[in-house]
Structure 1
C-alpha cells in the first residue's frame, strides 16, 4: 500500500476524487490513498482580452475592445467546487475555458447593445460598462467565476461603417462653424451698438421732455389707483388664499409638462441647431436694419404722440382694473352664496336621512319585541297545557280567570245597568245561622255561590267552568 502526501501552493488547491470521496474534495494538503486521483488547479485570476462585434439599436455595427480579469470565487466553497469541475478536463487557459468566457461576454454585450442607441452607448460608456459587468457576472456564477475587473476600451468603427470618424468630423465642423458665427455676431454687435448709441441720445432727449409732462398725470392716477387697490385687496384676500392652493397644483402640473416638452424639443433642436442659428442671425441683422430706420422715424414723432399715448393707456388701464376687480368681487359673492346653499341642502338631507334611519330602527325593534313576546307567550301556553294534561278547556278557563275576564264582565254589566232598575235576587238557604261560629263567613260564601252562578247565567248566558261546579238542571235549561 503506497501513500502520497501532497501539498498545494498558496494560490492552488487540491481536487481529490476516487475511493472514499462521494463527489469531489478540496484541500490544501492531504494524503492520497490508492484508488484516489489528485489534481492541482490554480485560483489566481487571469486576463481575457476580446474584441466584441455588436450592433446598436439603429443597426449600426461597432467593435468593443474589452479586457476582463476573471477568476474563481475563493470565499465560497460551493463556487470552488464548480470551478474545480470546470477544470477537471481543461486548463484555465485552454481554448475551452476561453471560448466559454468569450461566449458569455459576447452574448450579453450584444443583447445590451441592441437595446441602446449609438449615442447612448458613446455618451454613457460608464453605465454601459456597468450593465455589461452585471449581466456577465450573473452568467459566470454558474461556473463559480467572478469578475475582478473589467476595462472597456474606446469604441472602434467596423470597416465600411465609419460612424465614430464621421462623428468626430461633425464635432470639429460644428466647432468651426460656431467660431465663425461668434465672429460674425461680435462684428454685428459692434455696428449695432454704435447706431444704438446715436439713436439712444435722440430718444432720451425726447423721452425726458415727455416724462416731465406726464409725471403729474401719473402721480394723480396712481393715488386714485392705490386707494381702489387697497379696498379691493381687502375683499379678495380670502378668495386669493383659496385660489393659490389650486393654482400651485396647476403650476406644478404645468411645470412637469413643460419640462417634458423642453426635453423633447431639446432633442429636436440639437439636430438643426447650426442651421437655425444661421437663419436667426440673418433675421436678426434684417430686424436691426428695419429697427434703425423705424427708430429714426419714431424719434421725429415721439415727442408729440408719446404724451397722448401714455395718457390714453393710463386711462384704459385704470378702467380695465376697476371693472376687473368689480367682476371678481361679484363672482366671489355668488360663489359664497352657492356654497352656503349647498351646505344647507346637505345638512337638510343628512337630517332627513337620520330621522328615516331612527324610524326604521324603532320599527325594527318594535317588531323584534312583538316576536319575542309571541314566542314567550307560546312557550307559556305550551307549559300550561302540559301542566293541565292537555285539557284545552281547563287552559282556557284558567286564562280567563287569570286575565280577570269575569271581573271585567261584572264591571261592564254594572256599568250597563247603572241608573236602571235591575232585577235583584236575594236569597239564603234557609239553614241554620252560624252566628258566633268560626265557620260563619265560609258558610256564607258557600251559600252565595249557587245563586250567584244562576244569576250570571240568567243575565249573561255564561256557564261556569267544569272545575267550579254545574248549575241546577232548571237553570241550565
Structure 2
C-alpha cells in the first residue's frame, strides 16, 4: 500500500525499488508497493583524535586534532533539478522521472557528483538498515578516523619539526586539503578543523626541553630589555633637554630672519607700486597722443576719399560718351553680320538636306544587301545543321550495328569457348586458324638468321670408349660407382672450357685449369692406342 513519507529537517529519504533504476534522494515522496524507503541522518559529527606521528627527522610527537565532518548537502550534482525537489538519479547521471529509459549504452557514473548519493551508498555498505543505529555510526567513524590518521601521518613524515612549527597555517591547510580530497569520494565534507598544540610522545621530553629553553630565553631577554630601557630613559632625558634649548634658539633666530624678510618684502612692494604708477602715467600720455594722431589721419583719409570720388565721377561721364558711340557702331556691324550669317545658314541647310538624302539612300541599299546576306547565311546554317544531324544519326546507327555485331561475336566466341573446353582451347584454335604459330616460327627463324652459334657436345658415359668394368654382380656395382665419379670429374673441365670459349670469361688459375690439361692428355692417350693393329 502506498504511503507518503516525510523526512525530518536533519534527515533525507533514500528510495529504491520498482520504477527507480538506482537510488532516489529526496526530502518527501510517495513510497509505492515494491519500493523501499530508508531514512538517514545528515548531522555532522566531531571526530577527536590524538595522533602519534613521526617527522622527517624521526622525531615522534602527539598531534591532537578535532574535525567536524558530515555529509555535503549542498553538492547535489545532477540529482537535483531546480533546488531540493524530488528527483531520481539514473545510471547515466541525468535527472528524469521514474520509468524513463536512456538506452542500454548509458555507462557513465552513477552519482555524477551527488554527495548525498555517495553518503547513502556508504551507509548501505555498513549493513545496517537503521541510519541512527550505533553500528552505522561506528562504521562511519572508523572510515573517517582511518582517513584522517593516514593522511596526517603521510603529511607529517614529509616535513621537519621546524617546518611544522614555523608554518602552522600551511600545515593546517595541507591537512585539510588532503583529507578533503579523500572524503569527497564518500560524499563527506569538513565543516571545521582544529589542530591543537603538539605534545610529547611517551618517553620523550622534546617539547618540554623546548619550552624550558624558551622560558629561560624569555627571562634573560626580559632582563636585557629592562637594562636597555633604563639606558634609553637616561640618554633620552638628556637628549630631550638639549633639543629643547636648541629649538628655542632656533625659534628666536627664525623670528629675526622672518622680520627682516618682511621688511624687505614691504620695501619691494612699495618700489613696485611706484614703478607701476609711472608706467600707468606713461601709458595714459601715449594713448592721448595716439588718439590725436589717429584723428588727423582719419581727416586726411576722408579728404582723399572725396577727391577720389570726384575723379571717378568725371571718368564715368567721359566713359559714357565713348560707350554710346561704340554701341552705335557695334549695332551697325551686327546687322551686317546677321545678314551674312543668314545667307551662310540657308546655304548650309540646303547642303545638309542634300547630303541627308544621299546618306539615307546608301543606308537603305546597305540594309537590303545585309538582309539578303543574312537570309543566305541562315539558309546555309540550317542546311549544315540538317546535314550534321543526318550524319550524327548515321554514325549512331553505325555504332549501334557495330555494337550489335560485337555482342553477337562475343556470344559466338563464348559458345566456341565452351565447345573447345575453355578460353585456352579457343585461343589455340584461333592462333592455328589465323596462322599465328607459322608467323611466330618465321619470326624466330628470321631472328636467328645469320647467327653462327658454337655448340660443343661431349659424352662421359659408357659410350665414351672406356671399359664398362669387369663381370660379376659385385664388380659391376663397384665399377658403376667409380664410373659415376669419373664422369663427374671428366665433365667439369670441358664445361669450364666451353664457358670460356663461348662467353670469354677467364677462369681462375687453380685446379680447374690443371684438370683441363689432364683431361686433354687423357683424351690424346685414348685416341693413340685405338689406331694401332
The TM-score normalised by the length of structure 1 is 0.37
Larger C-alpha radius of gyration, 1 or 2? 2
